[in-house]
Structure 1
Amino acid sequence: MMFLHVLLLFCASPPSAAEGRLRQFYRLNNKTNVSVAESLCRVNYTDLVTVYDQQDNNKLLQLLKNSSSQQGWIGVYRGNYSLKWSNGDEVSYSRYSPSHSDQTRCAAMNAVGDWESILCTETKHFMCYEQDGAGASSYIYTLIPQNKSWFDAQLYCKENHTDLVSIRNQEENTLVLTKQDQSNTPFWIGLLNDSVDWSDGGRSAYRNWFQNTDQSKTYVYMIFTDGRWIKINDGQFNPLCYKSFIHVSPAEMSWEDAMNYCSAHFSRALCLESENDQTETQRELNRNNISAPVWVGLRQSRLFGFWIWINGLEVGNWTNWKGGMAPEAALSQHCAAMEKVNGQYTLTDKDCRSTFRVVCETQ
């Protein structure tokens, strides 16, 4: 019956899609309840969509505006309260003591470096960060002396820097504290404590609630008028699905075998053609809890010493190399993998004979 249901759903009219290279959004045309919506997305694509930022939300909003139906299921549901960093980093270090276990609250750093639990709707100064070009472990911190709610501060940092600051150890906590300009007023950092989880396991702290949304409701649908979300327990709405064009092999292999595996079974090994590709890859590796090195389609010329992707593209200057720069011959090990360093995925050189899993493109 499920197969027949899927067939009828797609025969009625083709799904609408939003543009993307490594991830694409789809709006299915039939209205369903949320459990059927989730099943349809998982059978035919990857899952109900996880919304990572304002750009994602705008793409979904456009899909809904171009349809006769103006509402759709996204992959968010009510889970247990837990801590999340705005940029998707794992919470491996914390100085946060929640004062309430049943309210959405955010963290602000005080004058001694402790993290206070405060309602996210309060307005405060906030700390943004961006990488300084010296690798994943080196950041530029900027205190923004504007009073904003946590979510408005998050949007500002994503649009003008990288994100609200995340803190991975005591050393970083001290560095952030020194950037407060001797202010005694607590300022927002990127830590959120709420009960939101995503159907696909994605790590997104982006939220766009309609004002006064009922916190007791379980699932969410989006209204098209301004893209804000409303919680609801049940209903019939269009599924908003996504498909990831990234595959990670289950087996480990050498770089050469990895390239053959991707070309034989999919399209090719992953080539990072833009900063957006790097972001999408990091999200997918995070979602699948992959921290060990994984091969990508990048190799160094043994003759000329430059790095080049297997599709012939040069390495962009935005590329996030471990240590901040590409390794040079003759010290380089010639093949490239992505590796998680201090919560961020970076490119690093590896011996081509080493065995790792590989990231393939499925397009």
Structure 2
Amino acid sequence: MLLFTAMLVLLWAFCPLTTAGRLRTLHVEYESTGMNFTAARNICQSKYTDLLTEYNEQINKEIVKELLEIPNLDVHSVKWSDGAAVTFFNLTGNCGSDCCAAMKADKEWDSVNCTITKPFVCFDKGYTKYIVIDKKKSWFEAQQDCRQNDTDLFTIRNVSENENLETAKDSIWIGLQHRKIDKSFTNFANQSLFCIYQGKWYQSIKSEVHAVCYKSYIHVSTHEMSWEKALDYCNASGLLRIESKDDQIETEEELQRQNLSEPVWIGLRQSRLFGFWIWMNGPNVGNWTNWKGGRQPEHQISHHCGVMEKVDGTFKWADKDCRSKFRVLCEIR
């Protein structure tokens, strides 16, 4: 089973994944496989907001978390004993949680419990050829045996290497190992992820072959206005409220994506009588705040409307005269 075919089948098998967030969602567009940057970005802009360009391990974790929520789908971490990237894959079956690959006479790989004893195949000392060892050992014992001779269990990198490996009548251990992962899985470094759905293996998401799009729920006005006009402008969707550090980070990233550094109105308003601050389209300002100077503006001497303002390279909340004119941040749904 070629990786390309496996990925195409995955496209047909599942709807695009969506990772949840209050102010932004991520969407994996499987049909973008093989497209260049411009084509992938066009897909994202036509369906969402834009192509996500800051793809990182955290985003990968969010996507895998979504995969783990799909009913009857198992996600597995797959790796070669010598640490090589998984560039060719021909595994069938699923022995359970911790399994190893054995090549059969038909050149397919079988998923087998690693404790079962089998003959095995090692690299030679130059890592250019292979040596079949006709001794039955568990996968881990076979790995140790190869490594004691300054080599490792054999890695198969392409169709040619797979076809050229001569096997005995019985299946033999090769260097591939896989284990089922769960929601507690966090170590994504140097991991190849594959899914099992309805008994078949499919390659999971890779940033270099799929477009990861984002949809932002933050709208930035193109023109400036007073805070009262901003309230009318945002209408039913409401001026933006920031309830948490995650909301703050997403808002900052959206302002940076749009190259904005000047103050922008948000949904903060102060009670002229009592001095407390509220969000116009939501709850009172809670325990999490991000005021300039580390505390909210002092009652009686403060202005009564709130902005996001860049201070020493980072965005903070600040009070401004409600009659001042700035661009506006609205929430959209």
What range is the shorter-chain TM-score in?
0.5 to 0.7
Kindly indicate whether the alpha-carbon contact (under 8 Å) linking 2:240 and 2:330 is maintained by their aligned counterparts in 1.
Answer: yes
Aligned match of 1:321: 291
Residue pairs, 1:284-363, within 5 angstroms: 284-363=254-333
- Structure 1 residue 23 and structure 2 residue 24: aligned? yes
Kindly indicate whether the alpha-carbon contact (under 8 Å) linking 2:17 and 2:63 is maintained by their aligned counterparts in 1.
Answer: no
CA distance in 2, matches of 1:32, 1:230: 10
Closer, same or farther in 2 for the Cα pair 1:307/1:66, shift >3 Å? closer
Aligned match of 2:193: 224
CA distance in 2, matches of 1:259, 1:11: 44
- Structure 1 residue 61 and structure 2 residue 64: aligned? yes
Closer, same or farther in 2 for the Cα pair 1:65/1:49, shift >3 Å? farther
Residue pairs, 1:139-154, within 5 angstroms: none
CA distance in 1, matches of 2:290, 2:214: 26
Give the AA of the match of 1:16.
L
> Structure 2 regions of 5+ residues with no counterpart?
1-10, 76-187, 196-202
Kindly indicate whether the alpha-carbon contact (under 8 Å) linking 2:23 and 2:217 is maintained by their aligned counterparts in 1.
Answer: yes
Where 1:318 maps in the other structure, the secondary structure is coil
Kindly indicate whether the alpha-carbon contact (under 8 Å) linking 1:41 and 1:241 is maintained by their aligned counterparts in 2.
Answer: yes
Encode CA deviations 1:107-153: one digit per residue, 9 max, x unaligned: xxxxxxxxxxxxxxxxxxxxxxxxxxxxxxxxxxxxxxxxxxxxxxx
Closer, same or farther in 2 for the Cα pair 1:58/1:250, shift >3 Å? same
Give the AA of the match of 2:26.
F
Aligned match of 1:263: 235
Q: How many angstroms does 1:310 deviate by?
A: 0.6
Aligned match of 2:224: 252
Kindly indicate whether the alpha-carbon contact (under 8 Å) linking 2:241 and 2:282 is maintained by their aligned counterparts in 1.
Answer: no
Kindly indicate whether the alpha-carbon contact (under 8 Å) linking 1:65 and 1:224 is maintained by their aligned counterparts in 2.
Answer: no
Q: How many angstroms does 1:239 deviate by?
A: 2.7
CA distance in 2, matches of 1:11, 1:210: 27
Closer, same or farther in 2 for the Cα pair 1:11/1:353, shift >3 Å? farther
Q: How many angstroms does 1:293 deviate by?
A: 0.3
Closer, same or farther in 2 for the Cα pair 1:63/1:294, shift >3 Å? same
Give the AA of the match of 1:300.
Q
- Structure 1 residue 48 and structure 2 residue 51: aligned? yes
Aligned residues: 200
Where 2:308 maps in the other structure, the secondary structure is strand
The percent of aligned pairs where both chains have the same amino acid is: 49
Kindly indicate whether the alpha-carbon contact (under 8 Å) linking 1:28 and 1:240 is maintained by their aligned counterparts in 2.
Answer: yes
CA distance in 2, matches of 1:348, 1:302: 16
Closer, same or farther in 2 for the Cα pair 1:362/1:230, shift >3 Å? closer
Q: How many angstroms does 1:224 deviate by?
A: 3.1
Closer, same or farther in 2 for the Cα pair 1:294/1:64, shift >3 Å? same
Q: TM-score, normalised by structure 2?
A: 0.53
Decide which structure has the larger Cα Rg and report it: 2
- Structure 1 residue 272 and structure 2 residue 242: aligned? yes
Q: TM-score, normalised by structure 1?
A: 0.49
Kindly indicate whether the alpha-carbon contact (under 8 Å) linking 2:243 and 2:288 is maintained by their aligned counterparts in 1.
Answer: no
Q: How many angstroms does 1:52 deviate by?
A: 6.4
- Structure 1 residue 239 and structure 2 residue 211: aligned? yes
> Structure 1 regions of 5+ residues with no counterpart?
1-9, 71-207, 212-222
Encode CA deviations 1:148-205: one digit per residue, 9 max, x unaligned: xxxxxxxxxxxxxxxxxxxxxxxxxxxxxxxxxxxxxxxxxxxxxxxxxxxxxxxxxx
Give the AA of the match of 2:217.
F
Give the AA of the match of 2:304.
H
Encode CA deviations 1:270-319: one digit per residue, 9 max, x unaligned: 00111210111011111111110000001000111100001241213321
Q: How many angstroms does 1:323 deviate by?
A: 1.1
Q: How many angstroms does 1:339 deviate by?
A: 0.3
- Structure 1 residue 37 and structure 2 residue 44: aligned? no
Q: How many angstroms does 1:247 deviate by?
A: 1.1
For the aligned residue pairs, the C-alpha RMSD in angstroms reads 3.3
Give the AA of the match of 2:221.
S
Give the AA of the match of 1:57.
N
Q: How many angstroms does 1:62 deviate by?
A: 3.0
Q: How many angstroms does 1:29 deviate by?
A: 4.0
Q: How many angstroms does 1:361 deviate by?
A: 0.8
Kindly indicate whether the alpha-carbon contact (under 8 Å) linking 2:55 and 2:207 is maintained by their aligned counterparts in 1.
Answer: no
Q: How many angstroms does 1:38 deviate by?
A: 2.1
Where 2:31 maps in the other structure, the secondary structure is coil
Aligned match of 1:148: none
Closer, same or farther in 2 for the Cα pair 1:296/1:248, shift >3 Å? same
Give the AA of the match of 1:346.
K
Encode CA deviations 1:48-83: one digit per residue, 9 max, x unaligned: 224466432310233456688x9xxxxxxxxxxxxx
Where 1:34 maps in the other structure, the secondary structure is coil
Q: How many angstroms does 1:230 deviate by?
A: 7.3
CA distance in 1, matches of 2:225, 2:23: 23
